[in-house]
Structure 1
Amino acid sequence: MKLPKLFLFLLALSIISCTSNEDKIPFKFGVWTTADAKKSDAEYTKEFKKYKDGGIDEVLINTSTDPKLLQRLVPLATKEGLKVHAWIMAMNRPGDSLALQHPDWYMVSKDGKSCFDNRPYVDYYQWLCPTRKESREHVLALVEELAKVDGIESVHLDYIRFPDIFLPISLLPKYNLVQDVELPQFDFCYCDECTNAFEKIHHKNPRESHNTSIDMEWKNFRLNAIKAVVDDAFQIVHKHNKQLTAAVFPYPEMADHMVRQRWDKWNIDEVYPMIYNSFYDEEIDWVGYATKQGVTDLEGKKTKINTGIYIPGLKNDKELKEAILQAKENGAVGVTFFDGNALSVSNLKTIKETKASLK
């Protein structure tokens, strides 16, 4: 009878040990950075070493969807002890040489203007339609080329949404805008492919709707179009034994309202909500609030939350530390900073000290 008791004791000890190890999963620190092929390997080694010495664990690198440049940078970052994610601008593809040969691939606004040559807000807003077979397959092919690169942790989707139907409140004066209602020039995608597909399902044309802002079927059609791209990307990157992550708007209901993005419905491993409090005229505690909203909406799902922090929007290092703590205390598995160029020596010192205090 002693053997079963010993077995049960060892089993209980094993369970406690596993639980203890799960509790000790380290809170991670990342940074978004944009690559420049003209920079030397020595310059990149110096940059990556700076991040690592400052407490950073991972880099999310925008190589303008160039897998060869990514292949060059991965071993340099890995050698310095950093994990690498392949950051891609997904539906917004400014200057995409292949896409530009196909004007019909681009989103169209409610007032009939195409992102191909009439871009909302800024010149780099050139959004591809997520419904049209050719444009979505183009984006997914780019995702797959990045997923094939050895040594990366994930393909990291950015701009995986529609153009902003509502801008963050602090940006409105910059564009001399008032957005109390959905304005037609910022409402996408009314291309033939989308409206025909919608009409086939729902037997109505959104172009003829008196008030599309309260047409839930039309909004859900567009939310689901983005979800379909994400879900396909998830299958592709997992085929290559990588994860899928994404930069998203602060929390699902807000993302739904502002950019037709409902990320709590996606098949995805980890989301990085850009909780840039200064964009919304919010205080630092809003970082905790928005993080918790996302964590709550993802309850019961495997998707993790990594809180994005906007360095230029912080007043000082005290706010930086508070933002990190707000994210951790409200359920994030890490924080990621935008962007590498904005991190000062003082910022990195604060990050390193805060990281040490969490152990």
Structure 2
Amino acid sequence: MDRKHFLKKTGMGMAGFFGGFGITKPLSIRGKSDHYQSKNWVWITESEGTVDEWKSRLEHLKKAGFDAILPQENFDNIIPAAEALDIEVHAWLVSLQRGSDKKVQKEHPEWFMVNRNGESSLEKPAYVDYYKWLCPSRKPVHEYLKEQAQELLQYSEIQSIHLDYIRYPDVILPIDLQPKYDIVQDKEYPQYDYCYCSVCRQKFEEKYGSDPMEIEDPAHHEKWLQFRYDRVTTLVNKLAIMVHEENRELTAAVFPTPDIARNLVRQNWPDWDLDAVLPMMYQNFYDKGIDWIGQAVKECRQELPKTTRLYSGLFVPSLNEEEIAQAFEHAMGAGADGISLFTDTEMEKPDWKNLRRVIRRG
């Protein structure tokens, strides 16, 4: 099951439920002069198509007020189409989650994270079969991801390397996803708690004098928590140096607020050397209403450097035609620089119409 189908499975069908729960009343329609000036992005999950087919698709996005796309493949056709329409191309790189990377699974099984039960995520992945994760403590993993990023940078037109799944597996799933897997996560359980591989254990013991497998309460052990935050931060900042030397930007898809990211996936992204961050503010995953998106933006802004741009990630299957515009206004009103949709192919005509009403062009 790929990322798109996983997210559709966990999000589709929720729009009707959330349409009558916790949703704020529509915001007033502003006059044209009061519209927000924004830069808007789209994650691309369906990348096939010729140059001409991509020109047609991107022309629609351009008219709707979108300026940047995040594809994973088919760059030879997408790039010339995007250039013709002055749309930025950012290369979407799935990083530590390597569920579809058969080559590295076969050649380097030792690279994969291990949970507190001593089980490799390669052999016994949590939640879904593709949850197979590389350990960020391993230097060969750093080199492997640098090589992958460097391959993408061979396209001079690519504006940024966009990191996704740059974290640990969910030690606790968002509250609304737990029933879908028939689990209750009222605390951190060992089968979801990573990484306890030999390298992580050795590095932690060298620094702090104890084996993390012997920690009585790992969920509240500040040094062990910080150690794992730092593993990912070190990796990201190494990639940032490489990318910036090529005069490109580094961007990332991250969990929706700094606290949620740290608590659920060991992701301390305010410390990363990013040019722009795209927090996935999928309100339905957290049993929240549309107005929570604005609250999430404010929480992000409290910790982010002022120079780091923020684009609110919106989950289209959870939003109806009115809510998509409301979500944009809540994000922009709280200080976002724009939005990013997951994905354009989930949008219907009324959705585009209501977004155009609130997105200013020219």
Same fold (TM over 0.5): yes
Match 1:171 to one of 170, 177, 183: 177
Q: 1:95 is matched with which residue?
A: 100
What residue in structure 2 maps to residue 194 of structure 1?
A: 200
Partner of 1:4: none
Q: Relative contact order (C-alpha < 8 Å, sep 6+): which is higher?
A: 2
Q: Would you say 1:268 and 2:274 are equivalent positions?
A: yes
Determine what percentage of the aligned residue pairs are the same residue.
37
Query: What's the CA shift for 1:57?
Result: 1.2
Decide which moves more: 81-90 or 25-34.
25-34
Structure 2 Cα separation of the partners of residues 233 and 143 of structure 1: 8
Q: Provide the C-alpha distance between the structure 2 equivalents of 1:143 and 1:301, rounded to a whole number of angstroms.
A: 26
Q: Counterpart of 1:195 in structure 2: which amino acid?
A: R
- Max Rg structure: 1
Question: Does the residue aligned with 1:289 lie in a helix, a strand or coil?
Answer: helix
Among 304, 310, 332, which residue is 2:309 paired with? 304
Paired with 1:327 and 1:25, the residues of 2 have a C-alpha distance of 10
Equivalence for 2:55 = 45
Residues in 1 aligned to 2:331 and 2:207: alpha-carbon distance in whole angstroms: 41
Instruction: Report the residue type matching 2:57 in the other structure.
Output: E
Determine the C-alpha separation between the residues in 2 that align with 1:33 and 1:212: 37
Q: Is the 8 Å Cα contact of residues 51 and 348 (structure 1) preserved in structure 2?
A: no
Amino acid at match of 1:287: I
State the match for 2:122 in structure 1: 116
Q: What is the CA–CA distance in structure 1 between the aligned matches of 2:196 and 2:187, rounded to whole Å?
A: 18
Note if contact 1:92-1:127 (Cα within 8 Å) is conserved in structure 2: yes
Does the alignment pair 1:84 with 2:95? no
CA contact (8 A) 2:37 2:359 kept: no
- Per-residue Cα deviation, 1:143-187 (whole angstroms, up to 9, x for no partner): 122123111111100001000011111111110010011011110
Residue 59 of structure 1 corresponds to which residue in structure 2?
Answer: 69
- Cα drift, residue 25 of structure 1: 9.7
1:155 partner amino acid: I
The CA distance in 2 between the partners of 1:136 and 1:116, in whole Å, is 18
Q: Which stretch shifts more, 264-273 or 77-86?
A: 77-86
Q: TM-score, normalised by structure 2?
A: 0.87
State the alpha-carbon separation in 2 of the partners of residues 36 and 322 from structure 1. Answer: 28
SS of structure 1 residue aligned to 2:131? coil
1:217 to 207, 223, 239: 223
* Runs of 4 or more above 3 Å deviation: none
The CA distance in 1 between the partners of 2:121 and 2:257, in whole Å, is: 26
8 Å CA contact retained: 1:164, 1:258: yes
